[in-house]
């Protein structure tokens, strides 16, 4: 029996908004990351797009990425404004929301267990996604900081999930 499920409606009723669909162009673009995905991806915009963490391809994921800089502002006498000194750039913060749907009308316990196992690894993991390939530096990985399963009332074969991650770049100390 085929199910007729509108993932966008379920997502909107669970998380409160409907994200944009990410369209992969027909022609690969030559960009700085060497990925064939290219588009008008921007920060603080959520997209339905394929995301793979480690070896697990996530279920109907929506991803958003943000980061900020720490800047010291020093006011000067007899001058309008201030002098800005860039101190550091924070890690990228990634939020992934998704919906797990089982076609056989059974609760998705195996799929939930896969997400929990991924969370329990307590290690930096590679992430494969069109948006992260444009934003991250070469070799940058992610660490899952939290995982939740919001309620999806009125369903027995659907479970929403949300995870937050931070980017992790290998840190190498130079010998003096």
CATH number at residue 16: 2.40.30
**Looking at the domain assignment, is residue 28 inside a domain?**
yes
Q: Is 81 left (phi over 0), alpha (psi -120 to 50) or beta?
A: left
**Looking at the domain assignment, is residue 53 inside a domain?**
yes
Give DSSP secondary structure letters for the chain: ------HHHHHHHHHSS-PEEPPPPSSPP--TT--S--S---TT--EE--EEETTEEPSSEEEEEE--EEEEEEE-TT-SSEEEEEEEEPPPEEEEEEEEE-TTSS--HHHHHHHHHHHTT-S-B-EEEHHHHHHSPTT-EEEEEEEE----TT-SSEEEEEEEEEEE----PPP-
Residue listed under structure tokens 């267990």: 113
**Looking at the domain assignment, is residue 121 inside a domain?**
yes
**Looking at the domain assignment, is residue 176 inside a domain?**
no
Q: How far apart are CA 126 and CA 128, in angstroms?
A: 7
**Looking at the domain assignment, is residue 173 inside a domain?**
no
* Phi, then psi, of 95 in degrees rounded to 5: -120, 130
**Looking at the domain assignment, is residue 87 inside a domain?**
yes
Q: Which is more confidently placed, 76 or 86?
A: 76
**Looking at the domain assignment, is residue 174 inside a domain?**
no
The number of folded domains in the chain is 1
The string of pLDDT tens digits covering residues 30-80 is 444 444 444 444 444 566 788 999 999 998 899 989 998 889 999 989 888
Q: Residue 122: which domain range?
A: 7-168
The string of pLDDT tens digits covering residues 95-151 is 999 999 998 889 999 999 999 999 999 999 999 988 888 888 888 999 999 999 999
Give the pLDDT of residue 47: 63
Give the pLDDT of residue 41: 45
pTM of the entire predicted model: 0.74
**Looking at the domain assignment, is residue 77 inside a domain?**
yes
Q: What six digits make up the tokens of 138?
A: 């070469």
The string of pLDDT tens digits covering residues 152-174 is 888 889 999 999 999 998 766 66
């Amino acid at each position: 029996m085929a199910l007729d499920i509108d993932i966008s409606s379920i997502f909107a009723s669970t998380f409160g908004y409907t994200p944009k669909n990410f369209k992969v162009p027909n022609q690969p673009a030559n960009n700085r990351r060497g990925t064939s995905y290219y588009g008008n991806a921007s920060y603080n915009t959520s997209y339905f797009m394929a995301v793979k963490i480690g070896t697990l391809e996530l279920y109907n994921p929506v991803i958003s990425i943000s980061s900020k800089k720490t800047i010291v502002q020093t006011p000067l006498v007899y001058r309008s404004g201030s002098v800005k000194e860039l101190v550091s750039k924070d890690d990228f913060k990634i939020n992934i929301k998704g919906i797990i749907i089982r076609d056989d009308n059974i609760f998705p316990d195996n799929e939930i267990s896969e997400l929990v196992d991924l969370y329990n690894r307590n290690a930096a993991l590679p992430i494969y996604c069109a948006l992260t390939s444009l934003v991250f530096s070469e070799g940058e990985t992610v660490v899952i900081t939290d995982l939740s399963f919001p309620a999806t009332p009125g369903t027995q074969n659907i479970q929403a999930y949300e995870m937050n991650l931070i980017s992790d770049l290998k840190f190498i100390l130079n010998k003096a």
